[in-house]
Structure 1
């Protein structure tokens, strides 16, 4: 690589990392939040872990789709704030005021969408809880899960409010408070979990529902903390409007139009991995245990992809708002290079220290876990490659979101996940008799196809836009 290109790549990587690193660390802290809940439920016993785990899966599915509905808020705010900055440099006072009004309207609209999604999701969560008995679940598990869902449901609304304010702060390129608040929430959540489960510190002894109550309280406290932090910020405070009655209906409709495909994409991806878990379970408990362990590893490393994708997406929105299409063309390569560097380090860890990597999930010296450990070790070689494509496809979705093209991302993921990945997993797992290894090779195939299609779509769309800018109209 020529020295000039390397210098440009390093400069672009530093700019991307400035936004991506706080987001990646925030995502990893959120994983720690869910892990804490799981550990606490496990201390209560198998029945409570099963019921609580089922409830959290339902909560996370609805939360993820709700987050998808407000994700485009960050892109829209990044573009609006970039236009306002450009107007400020040009000393166009009217355009600066218009940019501020646009950001304020987007914040109100985003919070309105979050409110509607939070209320609808909470009601749906309770209805699903009532229907669990019709799905063949154990009666004892259903009863426990219903009480857990009742405790979790109120937390969905402040959770989505937090996400809407998060998109505002990140879109304005001021994400630093996010990490501090999320890290603090992990500690508060652990303490509240313990206190409400066991009734310490004068609090009632709630058992399993205490985990749900603690989670809901932590979502509320996190939302308040982020709001107050943003309100005290001299750049963010004047733009943070909570008067939802003044929400601009066309802006709300625009956010919903952009957000629905994102929510559907997130739901489709979660469903893709859920179905493959059911497939792995058909090959026995050792296969399911190995699948669960490596899936958790993939999920943890995936948070790097989420941070890179979001940062790249916001930078695309910003650069296009400033008319710098040539810079936007480079962002794809920068994000993929950063992803590749991280995945090489992770892959080397899988190859050289598989026992250490798998030790949180298995007793690697126990004969009882020997079969699962052997299989999981083989799967590490697959996910070493798979994780780059998983990261690349998520970056591709983010890049298209930066172009306000959320529908193409959804259509392409449907093709990659379900028309390519799922049949490949079935054929390799069952027809080729590769079992769990075949399932993960199918996952790899689907994610690779999705990544290639998404990145090609982005490059073609951006080059077409660039060519249109370069065309001089005939006299």
Structure 2
């Protein structure tokens, strides 16, 4: 049992570790923007933060639209590999052409989503003064939005190539390029903000141009890297005019619920931030600091979720249902080990953990944050498990169930529980986080139960079909 778990963990880590490190590097990318904007002043930081929130909301939903691409490619690639092992040339070429078709359709989808998202982003920017935002802040945010909006298109193109390389289980270049992009982004930010090397001082606009430029450069770099890979190059077809309408419809059918799930989760956490703010600046500062810690650790869950999802798609394509069932246990065990280590740090060294986010003089905020860390030490297990559950269901091509269950967990259970504990029972910020824990635990249990039930049903159908033959 232990030997099997260790073997499966090593196999999962081969794909998961590069993805986890890539996610952490992307967090560093946005953190760099925030730090650079802070040097410009309070109004610039507020305006830039507002622009990035709008960009990230649309980017997150756009990424959701193409997230299933990795699963589709993993399944098609597995079928092509199996056909090659069986010396079935027709089956191998059919699988390879299926991969090419998925890439073309996903690039078409990313292009449409990128253009629509950029236009919507600009329209939201123009509406900021009517949405109750300070006029000066809105004006600065609009200038940055105009510079950020074009970057949405190469950002989503990059995500398509990323899903392609991950689906083919060759994500190594992805990590190297993402890490390099952090340094490039910092350098471009500094040059364009301050106008070095004879360039004009652009301020916030420079941050937007730098970010858009980095998205374009990373897309080009990842594309060129894939074209140099002898396994990937023959399958990387970007001719949008040959995109198959049926493949595009299938990706939309799978992608829309994922985009809605991502949007729902972001809205859930945003609303709890507003609730925390109702208890004063100290509660909001504590909530923000602990939420950032959760967000950083959450990247481990994202990497494990993607890796588990891709592996489930491959195993099902090959009819290996027992292996697909073990992937759930392996991913949860790996996540559990990491969360135990992090939880011990939260409980034993809270001041050290909070030091980068809260000033030492903020006694009230530090006290509240210390209490929130106790809740978080347990909450993060369920946060990680629910994200893995969403990924596992995506491996089954079941994205609608994930969306429905997250609606129940977040909005029907989590939000009412947070309100009841925070306001009715007067637990304030701690009550909000206990509500979050309740919602995430409900979501995790329902998602994992759904995966086990769906997988068992598919295995029974598969065995029944085999008996009939």
Q: How high is the TM-score relative to the length of structure 1?
A: 0.98
5 Å matches for 1:326-345?
326-345=322-341
Distance 2:129 2:407 in 1: 30
Which secondary structure state, in structure 1, belongs to the residue aligned with residue 199 of structure 2? coil
Partner of 1:468: 461
Which secondary structure state, in structure 1, belongs to the residue aligned with residue 338 of structure 2? helix
5 Å matches for 1:193-342?
193-342=189-338
Which secondary structure state, in structure 1, belongs to the residue aligned with residue 294 of structure 2? helix
Partner of 1:187: 183
5 Å matches for 1:78-89?
78-89=74-85
Partner of 1:154: 150
In structure 2, the gaps of 5 or more residues are none
Distance 1:192 1:68 in 2: 28
Shift of 1:474: 6.1
5 Å matches for 1:329-368?
329-364=325-360, 366=361
Which secondary structure state, in structure 1, belongs to the residue aligned with residue 368 of structure 2? helix
1:173 aligns with one of 162, 166, 169: 169
1:26-48 per-residue CA deviation (whole Å, 9 max, x = no partner) reads 00000000000000000100000
Partner of 1:68: 64
Asked whether 1:447 is paired with 2:440, we answer yes
Which secondary structure state, in structure 2, belongs to the residue aligned with residue 44 of structure 1? coil
Distance 2:417 2:291 in 1: 18
Partner of 1:136: 132
1:25 aligns with one of 1, 18, 21: 21
Partner of 1:404: 397
Number of equivalenced pairs = 468
Distance 2:128 2:86 in 1: 60
Shift of 1:203: 2.3
1:298-326 per-residue CA deviation (whole Å, 9 max, x = no partner) reads 00000000000000000000000011011
Shift of 1:352: 1.4
1:88-109 per-residue CA deviation (whole Å, 9 max, x = no partner) reads 0000001111111000000001
Which secondary structure state, in structure 2, belongs to the residue aligned with residue 67 of structure 1? helix
Partner of 2:110: 114
Shift of 1:470: 2.4
Distance 2:185 2:352 in 1: 28
Which secondary structure state, in structure 2, belongs to the residue aligned with residue 137 of structure 1? coil
Distance 1:259 1:226 in 2: 22
Distance 1:426 1:219 in 2: 39
Distance 1:153 1:349 in 2: 39
Distance 2:282 2:414 in 1: 23
1:193-250 per-residue CA deviation (whole Å, 9 max, x = no partner) reads 0110000023221011110110000000000000000011000011111110000110
1:57 aligns with one of 47, 53, 59: 53
Partner of 2:380: 387
Distance 2:204 2:240 in 1: 35
1:127-160 per-residue CA deviation (whole Å, 9 max, x = no partner) reads 0001111111100010001001001000000000
Partner of 1:416: 409
1:438 aligns with one of 431, 435, 441: 431
